[in-house]
Structure 1
C-alpha cells in the first residue's frame, strides 16, 4: 500500500495518474496547499521541502518527495513506463528532467503572473508568456511523427500532460501546436489519466483541448 499526499495541481496529478496507470493500491491524502496543510510538522516529516506530492511506501517504509523522483521510483519498482536500461531509459529521463526544470517551473510562473495576478508586472507577463510559447514549440517539434514523447507511453508523458492541461491558464491555443494537441487528446482519452486527474478531489472537467 502506498500513501499519496497530494493536491489538485499539475505536479500532484503526475503521480496520481502514474499510480492509476500502474493499477496499484494507494490511498490519497489531501494536502490543501491553500490552507497551509503542507507546513504542518506531520507533513514536513514526509516532505521536508513542504511541497506536494509525496509518498510513503509501506512495503519498504520509504518516504519520498519530489514528483520526478517519485515517478522514477514507482516506474522502476513496478517495471512499467520506464525502460530498465538503454537509450529509451535515458531519453525518458531526459524529457522528464525537461519537464521538471523547464516546462513546470516556467508554466508555473505563467500561472502566477498571467492567471492569478494579471496587470501587476508587464515585464514578467511578457517574459513568461513568450517562454511558454517557446516550450510548447519544443514539445510540438518533439511530437512530430510520434504518438508519445519517447515513442512508447512513459512517465515523461504523464509528467508533461498535467501542465499542458492548464493551457487555458497559460493563454495558449492548442490549435497553434497540432502535435501537442493530438498528444494531449490521446492521453486525455485514457481512463487512468481521467481518474488520476480527479485525485484527491474533482474540481472540474478535464479541458477538452
Structure 2
C-alpha cells in the first residue's frame, strides 16, 4: 500500500497533541495527520488501540521503520533522536532535557490536567479538589520560574523538546483560571516560545476548526 507520507500522526487539539505538532513543524517533517474526535470516542476504536493500547493521543506510526510510538514524551524523544532536530550535543544536556521532560510528563501534565477536569468537565463540582490542584499547579509554575531565572530555557540555554512539552501545558493558565503574575520568568519564556513561527504553525495545525481539511493533512513543517 502506498502512503502519501512515511509518518502518520494521530492527534487532537490538546496540550499533548500540540507538543508533537509543534515538534513536527520545528523539524520540517512531512506527515499525514489524523484528527481524532475524543468526545465521539475515536481513541477507543479497535484500529487506534492497535497503535496505542491505552487509547490516548498522541501517537505516531513511522511507516518506513515499521513501528508505532505512543506517549508524548516518548514520541518527542524518538523524533528528536531520529531527525537530530533539537538534539542535545552533550551528555549533561541530554540528561537535563530528559529530566525536565519527565518533570512535565509526571508533574505539570497530570496536575494541570486534573485542574482542567474539575473546572470544566466535572458535573458535580469539588471545591476541595479544585483548591488542591490549583495549589499544586502554582507550585509547579514556581519550580519552573525558579529554573528559568537561571537558564534561558528549561533544560539548558538551548531550546529543546523539554520546552515544547512544558509550553503546551503552561500556556493554558488563563483557561485554568490561574494567576501567574508572580512568575515573571515563566511569562517571559511563554512569550518567547509563542513567538516562534513553528510553534504558531504547530498550534494552528491541531485546531481542526481552523483548517479546511479536518480529516487528514499531509503537511510539511514550517
Fold shared by both chains (TM-score > 0.5): yes
Give, in angstroms, the shift of residue 94 of structure 1.
0.2
Structure 1 match to 2:144: 139
1:186 aligned onto 2:192: yes
CA contact (8 A) 1:8 1:198 kept: no
Deviates more, 1:49-58 or 1:111-120: 111-120
Q: How far off is 1:83 after superposition?
A: 1.6
Secondary structure in structure 2 of the residue aligned to 1:174: coil
* Match of residue 73 from structure 1: 78
How far 1:59 sits from its partner (Å)?
1.9
Shift of 1:84: 5.3
Give 1:171's aligned residue. Answer: 177
Secondary structure at the counterpart of residue 198 of structure 1: helix
Deviations along 1:153-174, one digit per CA (max 9) or x if unpaired, are: 0000000001012111221223
* Matched residue SS, 1:27: strand
1:54-203 alignment, distance < 5 Å: 54-83=59-88, 85-117=90-122, 120-150=125-155, 151-202=157-208
In structure 2, runs of 5+ residues without a counterpart are: 1-5, 211-222
Larger deviation, residues 115-124 vs 142-151: 115-124
1:43 aligns with 2:48: yes
Contact 1:76 / 1:84 at 8 angstroms: preserved in 2?
A: no
Q: How far apart are the structure 1 equivalents of 2:108 and 2:46? A: 30
Match of 2:21 in 1: 16
- Is the alpha carbon distance of 1:169 and 1:116 closer, same or farther for their aligned partners in structure 2, counting shifts above 3 Å? farther
CA drift of 1:85 comes to 4.6
How far apart are the structure 2 equivalents of 1:49 and 1:158?
23
Give the secondary-structure state (helix, strand or coil) at the position aligned to 2:57: coil
Equivalenced residues, count: 204
